[in-house]
Structure 1
Amino acid sequence: MKKQAVAVGFVLLSFMLPLKANAASFSKFYVFGDSLSDTGNVFTATNGLATPTTAIPQEPPYFQGRFSNDQVWVDYLGNQLGLNPTPYLISNPTIPNQGINFAVGGASSGQGNAVVPSAPLPGVLEQVGLLTQPILQANQKLDPNALYAVWGGANDYVFGQATNAAQTVQNLSDSVGLLASSGAKNILVFNLPDLGKIPFALATGLSSNLTALTNDHNKRLAEELGKFSNSSDLNLISVDVFSLFNQVQANPGKFGFQDAVNPCVVGNFQTIISVCPQPNDYLFFDSVHPTTGVHKLVADTALAEIEAKSAPEPAINLGILALGAFGAVGVLKRQQKKVSRSDC
């Protein structure tokens, strides 16, 4: 009987111990960014406009308007959260009850598009305005229970000839600030991988310059995001893509890749010269964009950061642990008394 009492006590204790929180239950998922996050917007915008008439990016080998060989991080994280945002330029979309993806391939950090300048496509800050302006004009607030993701800047340096990171980072900081002031509470912000290590940089001799810009960008971005730390009701979640890519490139085999230097696709987004037979063996799908396996790692990293922010605070953990232990001890004492009486 005493053994049963002890077992009951520890079973109760195990139930009362704090479990690490799973990803927060968000109501919707909104995305602002460039080709790393685009799930079909620029493909829709350029369909029939490009010369030849092939839309950007060409399908195949690109997957359903994405700049990769399969799903991108938005798809993976969306599946993990149970939320799949609708690309805002998709013709006659269903009601976007799970969120909207405003990201456009080639988007600059502020206004316009660095890759398709002839099309009226919004930069990252403009994308944020597409969501917030109607809300503010109607004297309303953004959904505080939604997740908002901001990732941009690479096009400013790779295609936009930006010579320093000041304005690019300010655009991204303004995007975060606009979301926060409009009612957003949960904002996911990504830094940049080392742009000096992408095949485009290696092929054009721009490696050292792009690495320097990347380091400047990430340093300034961290400083800007730190300015929001005084806002107690803002859940600002930083995702360190820079460190992730460095780990993968330092030991690609550990992550299932065989080639971390060369691109699978030779050519550009419209004119494909050749495609490797096994894209998933490569870190880079083309000279700028990663393969779907890398996107899965990015999504997993983002989810881990979300879960870390959702976990109980240490003080709360200790309190719950003490309560659980107290309850278990109480059960043990009551069981012991019952045993003593039954032995009489």
Structure 2
Amino acid sequence: MAMASASSNSNIIFFFWVLQALTSLLLSFSDAQMVPAVFVLGDSLVDVGNNNHLPLSIAKADFPHNGVDFPTKKPTGRFSNGKNAADFLAEKVGLPTSPPYLSLKSNKNKASLFLTGVNFASGRAGIFNGSDQALHQSIPLTEQVKYYTTVHQALAQQLGSSSVQQLLARSLFAIVIGSNDIFDYSGKSELQKKYTPQQYVNLMATTLKLQLKILYDYGARKFVLPGLGPIGCAPSVRIKSRTEECNEETSSWASMYNEVLKSMLAALKGELKGIRYSYFDTYNVMLNIINDPTTYGFAESKAACCGLGKLKAEVPCVPISTYCPNRSDHVFWDIVHPTQAVAQIFVDTLFDGPSQHTFPMNVRQLVSV
């Protein structure tokens, strides 16, 4: 009995030693690592493979020619020729790309895999719970936030409530979402009959605010929140016009939402103690690139790189599609998504950009506060 008791005591001492060492490691990360973790929520602009794990989803990028410029030269589930904004943001802060949550969900030791962040983003996801949720084709924001609460619980069990709060308070929470809600409004007459554009974008911002508050309640303090781009300029929208020009009405709804989002974030800062955020003016940065591509090193800002037909946007990027030989020449990779080169410009600007495009602070400043 004495030997069994000694063995038990040794196990307890070893457990606490491991826990102490792990906590110490978390709270004194290397200089190259600017934050302990990055948590990503959103849509296909930052999906790194979650939709690969949705059997019924048709919103996938796990086939060629996606990933042609990724380091592995293989499709990964990113809607891109290579890396997307989630990858570049992780690189900026000295971390590996946060893994897709659905790839870790069944892992028995998943808590240890959550320590540097998780990606919950899903292609076709929206702020609202649309038809994609019922069809299990995407993970809407509400479900992504629920997944995050389970991650919080796992981390709290492993590290303790105090340590996990310190970890999360210094981590980044990037939320890239809303474009699909505007596309829905643009394409559904029943929504347009039910809501004016202003009512609809107000509801988008109110719904997002509720989810941000839940994240806050579960430890999030530093948010990276890009606005929507001029989505009326996507190749899939341009081809609906005889002149192939941007659809100004669709883009105006995105711009309208951005104004409401900025007001909501400013108000939220006054409501929640310790919250900090960086808003990125995706709309004007992207519009500058589209209207003056050569200044940014691009040759083509209307047509997609991968696809078929008019502006290579009548058939999306699928294995039978052709793709441009120099992807860095193009602003758009497929019918709606930017190329890797544009994603890098976005992240470079949101990280170190001037107050003209990133406010009330850029991400480098957000990291340091």
TM-score tier (shorter): 0.7 to 0.9
Does 2:101 match 1:88? Answer: yes
Q: What is the alpha-carbon distance in structure 2 between the residues aligned to residue 43 and residue 295 of structure 1?
A: 21
Distance 2:350 2:145 in 1: 20
Task: Confirm whether residue 122 of structure 1 aligns to residue 139 of structure 2.
Answer: yes
Deviation, structure 1 residue 245:
0.4
Residues 254-285 of structure 1: CA deviation (Å, up to 9, x unaligned) = 21110011111122254643222222211001
* Corresponding residue for residue 44 of structure 1: 53
| Distance in structure 1 (CA, Å) of the matches to 2:57 and 2:121 | 19
What is the correspondence of 1:182-331 to structure 2 with a 5 Å cutoff? 182-205=218-241, 207-230=247-270, 231-266=272-307, 267-270=315-318, 272-304=320-352, 305-309=362-366
Match of 1:169 in 2: 205
Q: Indicate how the Cα distance of structure 1 residues 308 and 250 shifts in structure 2: closer, same or farther if over 3 A, else same.
A: farther
* Structure 2, unaligned runs of 5 or more: 1-30, 68-75, 193-199, 308-314, 353-361
What percent identity do the matched residue pairs reach? 24
Higher relative contact order (CA 8 A, sep 6+): 1
From the superposition, tell whether residues 310 and 65 of structure 1 become closer, same or farther in structure 2 (CA, over 3 Å). Answer: closer
After TM superposition, give the deviation of residue 159 of structure 1 in Å.
4.0
Q: CA deviation at 1:59?
A: 2.1
Q: Is 2:40 the counterpart of 1:31? A: yes
- 1:73–1:50 CA distance, 2 compared to 1 (3 A): closer
* Cross-structure match for 1:180: 216
Query: Which residue of 172, 177, 184 maps to 1:152?
Result: 177
SS in 1 for 2:286: helix
Please tell me the residue identity of whatever aligns with 1:37: V
Single out whichever of 271-280 and 182-191 deviates more from structure 2.
Answer: 271-280
How many pairs are equivalent? 285
In structure 2, the partner of 1:98 is 116
Does the Cα contact within 8 Å between 1:106 and 1:113 map onto a contact in 2?
Answer: no
The answer to whether the 8 A contact 1:112-1:121 is kept is no
> 8 Å contact 1:23–1:310 — kept in the other structure?
no
Cα separation, partners in 2 of 1:170 and 1:96, compared to 1, 3 Å: same
Q: Matched residue of 2:321: which SS?
A: strand
Q: Distance in 2 between matches of 1:134 and 1:70?
A: 28
Which deviates the most, 162-171 or 61-70?
A: 162-171
Cα RMSD (Å) of the superposition? 2.8
How far apart, CA to CA, are the structure 2 residues paired with 1:33 and 1:152? 5
Report the Cα distance in structure 1 between the residues aligned to 2:257 and 2:45, rounded to whole angstroms: 17
> CA distance change for structure 1 residues 219 and 57 in 2, over 3 Å: closer, same or farther?
same
Shift of residue 302 of structure 1? Answer: 2.4
TM-score for the superposition, normalised by structure 1: 0.74
> In 2, are the aligned partners of 1:87 and 1:100 still within 8 Å (CA)?
yes
| Distance change >3 Å, CA 272–CA 172, structure 1 → 2 | farther
SS of structure 2 residue aligned to 1:236:
strand
In the superposition, the TM-score normalised over structure 2's length comes to 0.70
Rounded to whole Å, the distance in 2 between the matches of 1:133 and 1:58 is 27
Partner of 1:110: 128
After superposition, what is the alpha-carbon deviation per residue over 1:190-239, rounded to whole angstroms, capped at 9, x for unaligned?
10011111111111248133112112111111111111222451111111
